[in-house]
């Protein structure tokens, strides 16, 4: 079963664990584990392959492999279909088969290991970082946690506030990128500023070196607000939290 720690392990470690498992199951067989850089991998280019193991739900993928092989002038593979074990205890929202996806869903809201106590950090409020790309569900999760009583800090809103006239990054950004980034009312035109840094790593770093420390400082102030309000948990919703 694959849970988050396994899913983010380096490829070399995952391959070593798989090799150990396969050799334990059948030591006499020869295994060649290869990384997949695309959905097909060597299945559509290797002339020595003869068989592809599929399940009922992946048979269409096997048929797609055979179409690609024919396009590449290779013989079709024999498709050997295996039956997946059913999970008698699956819920209405889970897959019928025994599935690591169902396991991860069941683990939502549980602690896989107790949080590490850092003596340099205060016990309250307990700050949770919530990160992920656009459309990954951060806003929905932040809203749910807020409804449960957490103090939610939206880094995107702070990212807008940092640029307003009088905001902590306003003057340094104008000084660095010039008055041409300003609208007639004196506000920073984010589109003009964005065009200056888009595709230019040096200029982008110049901007983030100004803005990110200011946002971080605003986040710390908001955490202090949460503490003053007696909040036990504080959630920081930030798309570029790790960066």
CA dist 34 and 46 (Å) reads 12
Burial (Cβ within 10 Å: 0-12, 13-18, ≥19) of residue 47: exposed
**How many other CB atoms are there within 10 angstroms of residue 82's CB atom?**
10
pTM across the whole model: 0.58
CA dist 109 and 148 (Å) reads 12
Could you read off the pLDDT of 84-124 as tens digits, one per residue? 888 888 888 888 888 888 888 888 878 877 877 888 888 88
Read off the pLDDT band of 55 (50, 70, 90): very high
- Domains of the chain: residue spans and CATH: 5-107 (3.40.50.620), 126-237 (3.40.50.300)
For residue 1, what pLDDT is reported? 56
Cβ-Cβ contacts under 8 Å for 208 (sequence gap 6 or more): none
CA dist 198 and 210 (Å) reads 16
CA dist 79 and 131 (Å) reads 41
């Amino acid at each position: 079963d694959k849970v988050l720690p396994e899913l983010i392990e380096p490829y070399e470690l995952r391959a070593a664990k798989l090799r150990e498992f396969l050799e334990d199951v059948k030591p006499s067989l020869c295994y060649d584990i290869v990384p997949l850089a695309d959905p097909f991998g060597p299945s559509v280019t290797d002339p020595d392959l003869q068989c592809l193991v599929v399940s009922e739900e992946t048979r269409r993928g096997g048929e797609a492999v055979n179409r690609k092989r024919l396009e590449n002038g290779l013989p079709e593979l024999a498709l050997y279909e295996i039956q997946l074990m059913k999970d008698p205890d699956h819920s209405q929202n889970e897959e019928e088969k025994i599935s690591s996806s169902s396991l991860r869903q069941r683990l939502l809201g549980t602690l896989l290991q107790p949080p590490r106590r850092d003596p340099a950090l205060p016990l309250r409020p307990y700050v949770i970082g919530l990160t992920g790309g656009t459309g990954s569900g951060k806003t929905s999760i932040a809203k749910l946690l807020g409804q449960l009583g957490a103090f939610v800090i939206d880094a995107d809103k702070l990212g807008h506030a940092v640029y307003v006239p009088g905001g902590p990054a306003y003057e340094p950004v104008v000084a660095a990128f010039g008055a041409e980034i300003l609208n007639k009312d004196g506000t920073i035109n984010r589109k003009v500023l964005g065009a200056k840094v888009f595709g230019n790593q040096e200029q982008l770093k110049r901007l983030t070196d100004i803005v990110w420390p200011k946002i971080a400082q605003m986040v710390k102030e908001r955490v202090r607000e949460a503490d003053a309000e007696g909040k036990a948990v504080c959630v920081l919703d930030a798309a570029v939290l790790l960066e």
